[in-house]
Amino acid sequence: MRLIPSGDVRLALFEEGERENPTILLVHGYPDTHRVWDEVAGLLSDRYHVVRYDVRGAGSSGAPRDRRHYSFDHLAADLGAVLDEIGKPRVHLVGHDWGSLQCWEAIGRPGIRERAASFTTFGGPGLDQAAHFLRYGGRREVAGQLARSWYIGAFQLPVLPELAWRGPLPRALARSMRLAEGIEPRQGHPADTLKRDGRNGLGLYRQNFLTRLRTPADPGVEVPVQLIETSRDIFVSPRLLASMRQWAPEFWHRRLAAGHWAQRSHPEAVARMIAEFSAHVDGGASTRSLRRDRVREGRGAYQDRLVVITGAGSGIGRATARAFAAHGAEVVCADLDHESAVRVAEDIGKDFRRTAHAVQLDVASTTAMEEFAGNIAEQYGVPDVVVNNAGIAVAGPFLDHSLDDWRRTLDVNLWGVIHGCRLFARQMVERGEGGHIVNIASLAAFVATRELPAYSTSKAAVKMLGDCLRAELAGHGIGVTTVCPGFVSTAIARNATYVGSDLRELAELGLQRRGYPPERVAAHILRAVHRNEAVVPVNVEGKIGYAMSRISPSAMRAFARLSGVVRNPVVGR
Ligand code: NAD
């Protein structure tokens, strides 16, 4: 550590890593010190020159005697003094909370904007930009943000906030960090100086908020900005953060399933995003995640997302792969039948000029699925969307099903989905950037028949798995959707196994006559991912079956007894 002068205070400055490497300057928020960045700095310092400092009034830096000296002018002068001391022509700025507020302000000022190569912001908007949002944002959006900002009003009161910092506030803060974000206190965070820092830092709120909200400056900035939206941040609303995009000509909107102190709870993800972004701004290639999160007009809804689809060689899988590709995604088409997967991938390349990969895969094999998931992560990255679609049918009465019929059906239809969920959900959780899993169940998940006992059992289990998983993964920003189509005109009846009486011809004809194309199922899947829907019954019989199974389970049981007599309701013979 060394102390550098800035106006009426001396600032504690900390440097790590080789000076020759690109410089990342980490600016902490309120009521933290530079130590809040310990984990992130440790992860970056092998490739970067990492600089941190305690802002005025915090940690080992001095506090101004004059309370007015917490204004943006003084904070910008401090940042300038740090930049002068580092002596690098350009640095990558990273600001959290109040560190973010003051960086947004500083990069609009001559003398600093030329030296900021990029700016990564999280946990705090710019004040000028927020003032614009509060004036011109929708009523509900503004009310949502104001409800999160109640404490800012409380900090304007005299004496009481000071007393709160001397009394219960430090313990309450540590408790809420632990309960809401799972962050345990460690050496350096919260700092030993927390009570004093908390009282000093009230000057930040009192000197800047009201004046700046009343008379905001021009919110536009010229520096490339990466916003990391932390989805469980209790202080800043997603709408306010999203509104920031209009103020920077080059803007990346990243998402992280984390709370306010993401650098403590998810240091790997935060460090990775900072490194990816600064390397790209310095002329390196753009990663797919960065391309995905770049904010630009006219982009496809799934532009640069990686989508993995099993059973993509035919029917619903094929249509879904094509639909995602048509909306900009890079798709992995996996199928037991390699040739059909290759055909689908090649057609996607020709028809939509999108990258598509074909992989031979047996979803029923644990080792094949583990290898597949590992290869995907290694070669293309963590998928944004996984569609567990591969499925087979065995039709006929229960007493005619062999053990092998049961095993095969459950291995493909249920275990294939379990493997897809367990392997890819783990990757998505570890990456921390959210994602979506779609499991293809069926009308058979909730409508019993005498002809499909193994198939229906597997699909009912898939639906329940989806409900359980959705509850568990919601906190990680990962959506789970169960899609339940009725009859769809695909090759499933032709590919099915028939036991007992031979229903092949009847079933094939039935699906063909139904005339419901898999492309319409695909459209439902894309919309469901976009809206994060839980259960999506598709087509008339899918919707009626779903509704009836909830309104009158006994009527559905009566229908199940009839089903063996009528044979096939679609064909009617
Ligand atoms: P399909 O037979 O046209 O396509 C299924 C694809 O899965 C084929 O390409 C097949 O090679 C592949 N596949 C089969 N076993 C596999 C395995 N072990 N590993 C990898 N790939 C495998 O059938 P479809 O109608 O498109 O079915 C897709 C999904 O939709 C299935 O889960 C099915 O149960 C479900 N579904 C279909 C209907 C319908 O009426 N077609 C209705 C409801 C639900």
Peptide bond into 5 cis (omega under 30): no
The protein residue with its alpha carbon nearest to ligand 1, atom 33, reads 391
| Residue closest to 201 by CA, chosen among 161, 231, 239 | 161
* CB burial readout 359-387, b (16+ within 10 A) else e: bebbbbbeebbeebbeebbeeebbbbbbb
Pocket test for ligand 1, best of 308, 309, 336, 489 (most atoms within 8 A of CB): 336
Ligand 1 atom with least separation from CA of 411: 18
Residue 284 CB contacts under 8 Å (≥ 6 apart), including other chains = none
CB of 395 closer than 8 Å to CB of 567:
no
Tell me what pLDDT residue 403 has: 98
Which residues of the chain fall below pLDDT 70?
564-573
Encoded tokens for 132 = 């614009």
Tell me what pLDDT residue 562 has: 82
Phi and psi at residue 258, to the nearest 5°:
-155, 170
pLDDT digits (tens, 9 = 90+) for 366-420: 999 999 999 999 999 999 999 999 999 999 999 999 999 999 999 999 999 999 9
Residue type, 241: L
The protein residue with its alpha carbon nearest to ligand 1, atom 6, reads 311
pLDDT digits (tens, 9 = 90+) for 459-471: 999 999 999 999 9
Distance CA 387, CA 480 (A): 10
Tell me what pLDDT residue 564 has: 61
pLDDT digits (tens, 9 = 90+) for 326-373: 999 999 999 999 999 999 999 999 999 999 999 999 999 999 999 999
Could you tell me the end-to-end alpha-carbon distance of the chain, in angstroms, rounded to an integer?
A: 85
Tell me what pLDDT residue 216 has: 84
CB of 103 closer than 8 Å to CB of 121:
yes
pLDDT digits (tens, 9 = 90+) for 46-66: 999 999 999 999 999 999 999
Distance CA 267, CA 153 (A): 31
Ligand 1 centroid – CA 456 distance (Å) = 14
Please indicate whether residue 205 is annotated as part of the active site: no
Distance CA 174, CA 184 (A): 8
CB of 169 closer than 8 Å to CB of 198:
yes
Q: What is the DSSP letter of 234?
A: S
Q: What is the DSSP letter of 398?
A: G
The protein residue with its alpha carbon nearest to ligand 1, atom 12, reads 311
CB of 541 closer than 8 Å to CB of 559:
no
Ligand 1 centroid – CA 313 distance (Å) = 9
CA 519 to chain centre: 27
Residue type, 353: R
The protein residue with its alpha carbon nearest to ligand 1, atom 24, reads 315
Ligand 1 centroid – CA 549 distance (Å) = 24
Tell me what pLDDT residue 566 has: 46
Tell me what pLDDT residue 344 has: 98
3-state secondary structure of 314: coil
Tell me what pLDDT residue 213 has: 83
Element (H or E) spanning 327, and its range? none
Ligand 1 atom with least separation from CA of 485: 43
Phi and psi at residue 107, to the nearest 5°:
-75, -5
The count of other CB atoms within 10 Å of the CB of residue 502 is 11
Distance CA 573, CA 570 (A): 9
Ligand 1 atom with least separation from CA of 495: 2
Tell me what pLDDT residue 211 has: 86
Residues, the chain, total? 573
3-state secondary structure of 4: strand
Ligand 1 atom with least separation from CA of 518: 26
Domains and CATH numbers, the chain: 2-293 (3.40.50.1820), 306-562 (3.40.50.720)
3-state secondary structure of 557: helix
Tell me what pLDDT residue 572 has: 37
Which of 30, 205, 455, 498 is flagged as catalytic?
455
The count of other CB atoms within 10 Å of the CB of residue 21 is 14
Ligand 1 atom with least separation from CA of 390: 7
Ligand 1 centroid – CA 392 distance (Å) = 6
Q: How far is CA 504 from CA 314, 399, 474, 488, 490, in A?
A: 19, 18, 41, 16, 14
Pocket test for ligand 1, best of 361, 369, 457, 488 (most atoms within 8 A of CB): 488
* β-pair type (91-96, 385-388): unpaired
Ligand 1 centroid – CA 315 distance (Å) = 7
Say whether pTM exceeds 0.75: yes
Ligand 1 centroid – CA 318 distance (Å) = 10
Tell me what pLDDT residue 309 has: 98
Ligand 1 atom with least separation from CA of 483: 44
Residue type, 558: A
* Greatest alpha-carbon span in the chain: 92
Tell me what pLDDT residue 137 has: 87
Distance CA 436, CA 533 (A): 10
Tell me what pLDDT residue 25 has: 98
Ligand 1 centroid – CA 412 distance (Å) = 10
Pocket test for ligand 1, best of 310, 316, 409 (most atoms within 8 A of CB): 316
Encoded tokens for 103 = 């960086």
3-state secondary structure of 191: coil
pLDDT digits (tens, 9 = 90+) for 226-248: 999 999 998 999 899 999 999 99
Tell me what pLDDT residue 138 has: 86
Encoded tokens for 536 = 């999506």
Strand partners, 359: 334
Ligand 1 cavity residues, CB under 6 Å: 310-311, 313-317, 335-337, 340, 361-364, 389-392, 412, 440, 442, 485, 487-488, 490-492, 495, 511, 518
Ligand 1 centroid – CA 303 distance (Å) = 26
Phi and psi at residue 69, to the nearest 5°:
-85, 25
The count of other CB atoms within 10 Å of the CB of residue 546 is 20
The count of other CB atoms within 10 Å of the CB of residue 516 is 20
The protein residue with its alpha carbon nearest to ligand 1, atom 23, reads 492
Residue with tokens 């507020």: 101
Tell me what pLDDT residue 151 has: 85
Tell me what pLDDT residue 153 has: 84
Pocket test for ligand 1, best of 308, 309, 314, 541 (most atoms within 8 A of CB): 314
SS (H, E, C) 104-159: HHHCCCCCCHHHEEEEEEECCCCHHHHHHHHHHCCHHHHHHHHHHCHHHHHHCCCC
Tell me what pLDDT residue 217 has: 85
Give the relative orientation of helices 98-106 and 127-136 as an angle to the nearest 10 degrees.
Answer: 90
Q: How far is CA 202 from CA 31, 60, 97, 111, 239, in A?
A: 9, 17, 14, 27, 26
